[in-house]
Copies of this chain bind each other. A is one copy, B any other.
């Protein structure tokens, strides 16, 4: 499959409902009593995290950082949840095209919709940026924020990952849930900074990650305020507002947070500039970590040649800048939470 789809296209949303059977991040919080990172194997990676947190929280030390400045930013796709075999939001868009097809008979002969309906990802990819924007606008816009929230919520409640046969929101990484909880226990404020749609993430990030909507930064489409029958609403316009990817991530961080993070976590070239912005100011101790997907058996193995979540330039930059690289296969004792239902074909390696 040669689906070369740039992160620039996965924009906006709002999903509503309780997605998970249980709240996963509570599981992580329970682990805090003893080892705060029980799903991380002992070794240099885990040590680098613990050493950084110890350093910035040690009052009176040179490396101490006041609690209000302890900002940590996390990419989402591939850093906190699965992004293979395609971005979850793309799977949503493709399903949405199918759901809307009856109202759009012209789609059976019009690209890129024809390709989306036929599952022809090669042709879809060939439709390029313009095709992708058409697809997103047709599936993500021209409704109110409340309506979109419901659409996304309904989809997430029933959609299943093709390999693991689990709801997407349960395919989050247990070690990262523990890391989020560990940082918060040390008075960090944790933010998501994702190329994904801000309104596609917000409704479930608090329940799943413990990250409230106001701490989610993402790509967005424009909205328009209007009064309808005496009720105020925001209408989603088929127009890109902001692409929170690559060089857009520092811009989004500055716009939403207004402080430079002291720690950042990513997994792909889309996170390069966020990690640079976070760590290279030259003023104080800071931390960056890249999740390297090396485990085809338990999850996926990909880096320099992947269509989604390509990790190439940022992997070289990690070596040059002393960023920590977490080797999923070696560093993670467990990939997914155990309490969220069957992993289905989890043992079957699909590359």
- Chain A residues near B (Cβ < 8 Å): 14, 68, 71, 145, 189, 198-199, 202, 206, 212-216, 220, 222-225, 227, 230-232, 234, 241, 247-251, 254-259, 273, 276-277, 280-282
- Chain B residues with CB below 8 A from A214, complex form: 71, 189, 214-215, 256-259
User: Within the complex, what minimum Cβ distance (angstroms) separates A106 from chain B?
Assistant: 32
The answer for the CA separation of A259 and B256 in the assembled complex, in Å, is 14
Complex contact B232–A273 (CB within 8 A)? yes
List 9 A-B pairs, Cβ < 8 Å.
Answer: A68-B212, A71-B214, A189-B214, A198-B258, A214-B256, A216-B258, A223-B251, A225-B251, A232-B276
**Which residue of B has the minimal Cβ distance to A250?**
B225
User: Within the complex, what minimum Cβ distance (angstroms) separates A121 from chain B?
Assistant: 31
Complex contact A250–B276 (CB within 8 A)? no
Main secondary structure, interface of A, reads: mixed
- Chain B residues with CB below 8 A from A222, complex form: 251
**Which residue of B has the minimal Cβ distance to A279?**
B232
The answer for the CA separation of A199 and B258 in the assembled complex, in Å, is 8
Besides A214-B257, A223-B254, A232-B280, 5 other CB < 8 A contacts? A68-B206, A213-B259, A224-B251, A232-B277, A256-B256
The answer for the CA separation of A277 and B227 in the assembled complex, in Å, is 9
**Which residue of B has the minimal Cβ distance to A276?**
B232
Complex contact B280–A213 (CB within 8 A)? no
